[in-house]
Amino acid sequence: MAYRIAIVNDLAMAREALKRAVALVPGAELAWVANDGDEAVAKCRGDTPDLVLMDLVMPRMGGVEATRQIMAQSACPVIVVTATVEGNAHGVYEAIGAGALDAVDTPRMPSAAGAVGPGGGATGSAAGGDAGRLLEKIAAVRAAVEADLVRSKASAAAAPIEAVVAPCAAGTPNKAAPAPAASCTSLLLIGASTGGPQAIVDFFSGWNRARAVGAPPVATIIVQHMDPQFLPGFAAWLGSRIGHSVALARTGHEPIAGEVLVAEGGKHLAIGPSGAMVSLSGKPSDVHRPSINTLFDSASRACPAGGAAVLLTGMGRDGASGLLSLRRAGWLTFAQDRDTSVVWGMPGEAKAIGAVDACHGIDVIGATVAKAMAGQPTKKVSS
């Protein structure tokens, strides 16, 4: 079956460049073309493709709102393709927050017929201009989605996980946990993927309200699935939205109460036995680097009963098993609910395996977690 790709762009030259790029994708075909976001939402509702290449700045409806509506009505993978990612950084983070998986500059049309490949056909450069980066992004998104489907089918074929993992009472570890390392401070760990940037902003909105009524300061470490090139800018963007200084996590640094740290891309982040952060290279086959599971698993070993962990909206399963490790070690564990998640993949998997103390809507989860960490009673909610 062909891999169907849709194009959304108001510029004729950009549409032509994208059509040529799609023609270079093995096994792919053009699903349809839309001239603006409003048209794309309608077409996606009637004919959902395997992937949408979404422009940002368009008449009637721009790419951010179009992505938001597509994810709400007919969810499918979206890659933002804009004239300049760097020049439209704010819109890129907004679109990723709405559910886009990645972003890349629009490829240029080739200036000439160009070279001929060994088999007699046009090379990627000749046929698609400078489409190489876009083709890499398409291949990565396609591979990640297909890997998630394979894992989901394997999970469905196995015995129900709920029958294997007995849910534990909120706040009660499944086994006796060793004493926390003396250097471990109170930690808040957050994992997010599809739709994560906006969800993290909304989480901190509630968190900040609770802080005003006495919630204690904690060190926060965030893993957001995102292209490594965007993470430094994402940290700056996030800091401007949540009212906290946000920095990239540094190897050897021990988190300090009040800090908000974001894991760098291209490698895993873990908490070592001393409580300091360490970087791990991981394997080339890893779907996500950094992996939420890697951070959560390391924290369950280094800082048992050390704080709270939250799994927000995201495609796939990353973070679920790590959240279970934390819950068994005595951590407070939370997940975003189905209704407010852009994609209820990761939090839904965590709930299915008994890794979650409670699921909450994004409008209340931040305040709920803050109150729980302060020892105040909270209402337990299931999605």
The amino acid at residue 309 is A
Taking the C-alpha atoms of residue 323 and residue 62, their distance in angstroms, rounded to an integer, is 36
Taking the C-alpha atoms of residue 247 and residue 236, their distance in angstroms, rounded to an integer, is 8
Confidence class for position 42, pLDDT limits 50, 70, 90: very high
Instruction: Check residues 34 and 216 and name the one with the higher pLDDT.
Output: 34
Taking the C-alpha atoms of residue 204 and residue 253, their distance in angstroms, rounded to an integer, is 23
What are the residues whose beta carbons fall under 8 Å from the beta carbon of 169, sequence distance 6 or more?
none
Q: Angle at Cα 258 formed by Cα 252 and Cα 260, nearest 5°?
A: 65
Q: What is the pLDDT of residue 102?
A: 92
Taking the C-alpha atoms of residue 199 and residue 127, their distance in angstroms, rounded to an integer, is 39
Give the pLDDT confidence of 112-164 residue by residue, as tens digits: 444 334 333 444 444 445 799 999 999 989 988 887 666 555 555 554 433 33
Calculate helix-pair angle for 12-23, 132-157, nearest 10 degrees: 60
Confidence class for position 381, pLDDT limits 50, 70, 90: low
The yes-or-no verdict on residue 65 having pLDDT over 90 is yes
Q: What is the pLDDT of residue 374?
A: 87
Residue 217 tokens read as 């300061």
Mean pLDDT, residues 253-262: 94
Q: What is the pLDDT of residue 153?
A: 58
Burial state string for 139-148 with b = 16 or more CB within 10 A and e = fewer than 16: eebbebbeeb
Q: What is the pLDDT of residue 145?
A: 83
Instruction: For the beta carbon of residue 339, count every other beta carbon within 10 angstroms.
Output: 10
Mean pLDDT, residues 363-371: 95
Task: Report whether 317 contacts 148 (CB < 8 A).
Answer: yes
Taking the C-alpha atoms of residue 366 and residue 349, their distance in angstroms, rounded to an integer, is 20
Task: Report whether 110 contacts 128 (CB < 8 A).
Answer: yes
Give the pLDDT confidence of 68-116 residue by residue, as tens digits: 999 999 999 999 999 999 889 899 999 999 999 999 999 987 654 443 3
Taking the C-alpha atoms of residue 88 and residue 230, their distance in angstroms, rounded to an integer, is 12
Q: Which residues are catalytic?
A: 193, 225, 318
Q: What is the pLDDT of residue 122?
A: 41
Instruction: For the beta carbon of residue 150, count every other beta carbon within 10 angstroms.
Output: 10
Taking the C-alpha atoms of residue 81 and residue 256, their distance in angstroms, rounded to an integer, is 38
Taking the C-alpha atoms of residue 284 and residue 273, their distance in angstroms, rounded to an integer, is 25
Q: Angle at Cα 321 formed by Cα 380 and Cα 220, nearest 5°?
A: 65
Q: What is the 3-state secondary structure (H, E, C) of 247-286?
A: EECCCCCCCCCCCEEECCCCCEEEECCCCCEEEECCCCCC
Q: Are strands 51-54 and 3-8 parallel, antiparallel or unpaired?
A: parallel
**Nearest Cα to Cα of residue 65 among 39, 47, 84:** 39
Give the pLDDT confidence of 321-356 residue by residue, as tens digits: 999 999 999 999 999 999 999 999 999 999 999 999
Q: What is the pLDDT of residue 130?
A: 78
pTM: predicted TM-score of the whole model, two decimal places: 0.84
Q: Angle at Cα 165 formed by Cα 303 and Cα 381, nearest 5°?
A: 75
Give the pLDDT confidence of 260-300 residue by residue, as tens digits: 999 998 899 999 998 899 998 877 667 788 999 999 999 99
Q: What is the pLDDT of residue 154?
A: 58
The yes-or-no verdict on residue 21 having pLDDT over 50 is yes
The yes-or-no verdict on residue 170 having pLDDT over 80 is no
Task: Report whether 74 contacts 45 (CB < 8 A).
Answer: yes
The yes-or-no verdict on residue 249 having pLDDT over 70 is yes
Instruction: For the beta carbon of residue 168, count every other beta carbon within 10 angstroms.
Output: 18
What are the residues whose beta carbons fall under 8 Å from the beta carbon of 333, sequence distance 6 or more?
308, 309, 310, 311, 323, 326, 327, 350, 355, 356, 357
Composition of the chain by helix, strand, coil, percent to 5: 40, 20, 45
Ordered strands of the 51-54 beta sheet: 28-34, 3-8, 51-54, 78-82, 102-105
Give the pLDDT confidence of 43-54 residue by residue, as tens digits: 999 999 999 999
Q: Which domains does the chain have, with CATH numbers?
A: 3-109+127-146 (3.40.50.2300), 164-373 (3.40.50.180)
Give the pLDDT confidence of 192-248 residue by residue, as tens digits: 999 999 999 999 999 998 876 677 789 999 999 998 889 999 999 999 999 999 999
